[in-house]
Structure 1
């Protein structure tokens, strides 16, 4: 039996130096991040509901917080996370139905989910600013 010294020769696992991030990989990661952000955003929703149930002073305090630049930024981020996660869910539903597996369609759906989430977020905030909602 031969004695080997040193480390055995093993194939190295590909890493970021070899793999370049594709749009569908990035959208998958962002989908998971937005899902986690929605958990935190649910606390904001709970605060709103508790403030509305508690009385006008609590509700006005909540509204005054939402009117600050930080509050608006958090609400904008929550809106985008909600829209992006919803569109990503529809993309996964299409894939679960057995469609859209060719690489061109994967790229179109991935870029489309990003674009649609941005457009929907902008449309919601424009409607709110105009008083349509």
Structure 2
């Protein structure tokens, strides 16, 4: 049996930091997963708002009041960014599934475009609405 030298190897390729240099592709992939969780949390907020609207005027006034203050605006700005980022990440994976953009330079450029694009689209969304 081959000596696999288990004691000197990292336990996981996801141990970014002490063993692996963060790369644009890995960080953007992690961010897609994080933005999916954020989007789920925002969906829960929206459902709470709708349930409060269906329940009573007092419940709706409380939830609506919480979401309309500056903190609510900040939450929805970041949520809008997360949704746009996640959408662009899914689009990137569709492009990869079609076999395009697989070289390192293009993949890193696509990761940068995701960050910049989500930021511009979130700002544009807030300007338009």
In which range does the TM-score fall when normalised by the shorter chain? 0.7 to 0.9
**1:54 alignment partner in structure 2:** 55
Q: Does 1:10 align with 2:11?
A: no
Q: CA deviation at 1:34?
A: 0.9
**1:68 alignment partner in structure 2:** 69
Structure 2 unpaired stretches of 5+: none
Q: TM-score, normalised by structure 1?
A: 0.79
Question: Which deviations, in whole Å up to 9, do the C-alpha atoms of 1:30-63 show, x marking residues without a partner?
Answer: 1111111122112111012213323444333332
Which structure 1 residue ranges, 4+ long, deviate > 4 Å from structure 2? none
1:51/1:9 CA distance change after superposition, 3 Å: closer
Structure 1 unpaired stretches of 5+: 1-7, 129-133
Q: How many residues end up aligned between the 2 structures?
A: 121
Question: Which deviations, in whole Å up to 9, do the C-alpha atoms of 1:73-106 show, x marking residues without a partner?
Answer: 2212211111111111101111111111011110
**2:124 alignment partner in structure 1:** 123
Aligned pairs for 1:86-101 within 5 A: 86-101=87-102
SS in 1 for 2:92: helix
Q: Which moved more, 1:59-68 or 1:101-110?
A: 59-68
Higher-Rg member (1/2): 1
Q: CA deviation at 1:19?
A: 2.6
Q: TM-score, normalised by structure 2?
A: 0.81
- For the aligned residues, what is the CA RMSD? 2.1
Aligned counterparts of 1:110 and 1:124: Cα–Cα separation in 2: 21
